[in-house]
Amino acid sequence: MHFSRRHAQRITPGGRARPRRGTFVSARAIPAFAAFAFFLTGAGHAEQAEKTAVPASELQAKMAYCENCHGVSARGFHGYYPIPRLAGQQPEYIKNQLQAFIEHRRTNNIMFNVAHVLSPAMLEALTDSFQKLNPKPLVSAAPKDLVAAGKKIYEEGLPATDVPPCASCHGPEAKGDGQFPRLAGQLSDYIVSKLKNWTKERGQDPSKPDASTIMQPIAHSLTEQQIKAVAAYLNDQE
């Protein structure tokens, strides 16, 4: 009798025939093998997630550290230098600005020291936690009689001086979107300080512009009274 090599069998010392290695895999074994492979892959992803997750205790400690300056529930802090509200802020915006501090496109030595030591995992956890906070706005000393004028500028802009409506980027409720920051509930004195001193703190490296660049001509086109009006309106929002 003739056998081809493809079907050749090996004879064991006991006289039993055994298929050659590598010639056949049972169909019944495939589902079990696939399940085992899936288990290994899932275990690998879980292990990776565990390595990159930030322990709750570390996150709470870092949040408390930030609140030393940014106030309880990150709602901001009035002082000689007003410190901004981070509660409800867009994560992408915070990440962009922290990177700007690291690259000296924004000048603030304290924030440089804070930003450059944050791990990617901690940065993700922090920005997500800040966005979920929603305390009442910290009351500012902004004149309430300016709120109506500020609302008009925010919603309609100033066509005569080519100032677009603030709402076109920051949203109708001033809650921001992605790289455009939330302004609702922000300290009025912080907004006034930033808009009046825009080029002294932003855009220090023109070769690395970001979304903040769009604000430079707008800030320069607003009078101090208009800035105060917009700031009063925004602080009044929740």
pTM of the model: 0.76
**Average pLDDT of each block of 10 consecutive residues along the chain (238 residues)?**
44 48 46 45 45 87 97 94 96 95 90 95 97 93 92 98 97 96 97 91 76 89 97 95
Contact at 8 Å (CB) between 180 and 90?
yes
The C-alpha torsion from 144 through 145 and 148 to 154, rounded to 10°, is -60
Phi, psi of 10, deg, nearest 5: -95, 140
* pLDDT at residue 7 in the model: 43
Task: Read off the tokens for 44.
Answer: 């690998």
pLDDT in the model for residue 203 = 72
The C-alpha atoms of residue 118 and residue 115 are separated, in whole angstroms, by: 6
Report the C-alpha gap between 98 and 183 in whole angstroms: 17
Pick the CATH number of 56-235 from 3.40.50.720, 1.10.760.10, 3.40.50.620, 3.20.20.70: 1.10.760.10
Q: What is the dihedral of CA 103, 107, 111, 117, to 10 degrees?
A: 20
Q: What is the pLDDT of residue 33?
A: 42
Q: Which two tokens stand for residue 160?
A: 């005569």
Q: Which of 212, 186, 171, 196 is nearest to 70 (CA)?
A: 186
| Burial of 13: CB neighbours in 10 Å, binned 0-12, 13-18, 19+ | exposed
Q: What is the pLDDT of residue 57?
A: 97
For position 52, what pLDDT does the model report? 65
Q: What is the pLDDT of residue 37?
A: 46
The confidence score (pLDDT) of residue 51 equals 46
- Nearest by Cα to 116 from 133, 129, 130, 103: 103
For residue 201 the two structure tokens come to 């703190």
> What pLDDT is attached to residue 79?
86
Nearest Cα to Cα of residue 180 among 114, 96, 113: 96
Tell the residue number behind the tokens 């910290």, with chain if given. Answer: 138
* Residue 5 confidence (pLDDT): 43
Q: Where are the domains of the chain?
A: 56-235
